[in-house]
Amino acid sequence: MNIVERFLKYVSFTTTSDEKTEMTPSTPGQMIFAQSLANELKSIGLEDVEVDKNGYVMATLPANCTESLPTIGFIAHLDTSPDMSGRHVKARVVQNYDGKDILLNEEENILLSTVNFPEIEQYKGQDIIVTNGKTLLGADDKAGIAEIVTALEYLIQHPDEKHGKIRVAFTPDEEIGQGADHFDVQKFGANWAYTIDGGEIGELEYENFNAALAKVSFFGRNVHPGYAKHKMLNSIRIAHQFTSMLPRHETPEHTEGYEGFYHLISIDGNVEKTTMNYIIRDHDRDRFERRKKEFQHLVNKIVAEFGKNAATLEIEDQYYNMREKIEPVKHIVDLAFRAMEEVGVEPKIRPIRGGTDGAKLSFKGLPCPNVFTGGHNFHGRYEYIPIPSMEKAMQVIVKIATLNSLSK
């Protein structure tokens, strides 16, 4: 099975995660996919293949050389984002892309537009996999899984390519921030690993946001509006006052690179009670801590104006910047950098403006940079992936494995 056939098979599985179920894996489709992958890994010749009760798939490709080498791992996630449906994905290959808009769905006139997504023009002449405009594609992260499995199959079929012991893992629920929660680092037994979960070709990442979730609740007092003077407290208006006190340009749509932000992700309210959920992000740990303190400061101002019961704040840290755990072992980034160069890919080291399983895993003792899959526009109907980018990602995995001896 080639990488494209493998990928198209994988996206046919419905594996959307759901944070509301409070189960692991959060949806049954992920376990079905995990079992299918385990069977496939056994069929191509991997050893120690298992799926645990939480849906984590692990397997081993034994070393094929006598030299004592570090054990490295490759990791990708089973689930797709709940931001858009991943059910009944109808992927198709646009052959020899002509550099123009791609009509994803004629009936609904859904276009993958070069005006909105100009970066697609760089793939003119390549074969590109797209959606039918009604679902996401699932390249995040089924492309990563396909690239890992295809790379392992290649190494098995080419025993002249010498490598040390390789461990592989496929995790559930990464998209809802729980992919590393039940990951047994000791059982995995790798010295370090790479998540194959990045975006465009060449991406190599070992920095990510520090992240927190903030829940702010505002409490009002409802009175008939005709008789409300000096009596009513409208929690919606109080919530609006709070959000207007935040810096208006420190939001996702106004920031890039290393710039952090506050992001309102949901609001639910009436006169009596309004709840706002924010995510807080910053690469710099000190600025991250100041952002959380700023939230508390603004809540205190609301309380001072409207009364001690007018607002409450709950903040929960989600993950931290893995840079502090990877810099002491920077050679693992250098190894991936060289692997990319040797297969003709220009490395693009940049910070992740988000999270990855690798962040939590790095803090659990498994340093874990992130390598590209080749995909674009994750989590939505305009997601696509050029086939040559997938093939290059597979080659990078193979090259990392065969260059491993240089990292001792």
Q: What does the block give as tokens for 287?
A: 């600025």
Name the nearest CA neighbour of 388 among 124, 142, 197.
Answer: 124
Beta bridge partners of 16: 80
Say what angle helices 139-157 and 3-10 make with each other, to 10 degrees: 140
Contacts of 19 (CB under 8 A, 6+ apart): 26, 82, 176, 177, 178
**Separation CA 261–CA 335 (nearest Å):** 32
Residues in a beta bridge with 61: 166
Written as one string, the DSSP assignment of 62-109 is ---SSS----EEEEEES-B-TTS--SS---EEETT--SS-EEEETTTT
Burial class from Cβ neighbours inside 10 Å (0-12, 13-18, 19+) for residue 374 reads buried
Measured distance CA(56)–CA(157) in Å, rounded: 26
> What number of residues does the chain have?
408
- For the record, the structure tokens of 345 come out as 């890919």
- For 48, phi and psi rounded to 5 degrees? 55, 35
| Longest alpha-carbon distance in the chain | 86
Classify burial at 214, counting beta carbons within 10 Å of its beta carbon; exposed 0-12, middle 13-18, buried 19 or more. Answer: buried
Q: Are strands 311-319 and 348-349 parallel, antiparallel or unpaired?
A: unpaired
Query: Catalytic residue numbers?
Result: 79, 174
Q: How many CB atoms lie within 10 A of CB 355?
A: 24
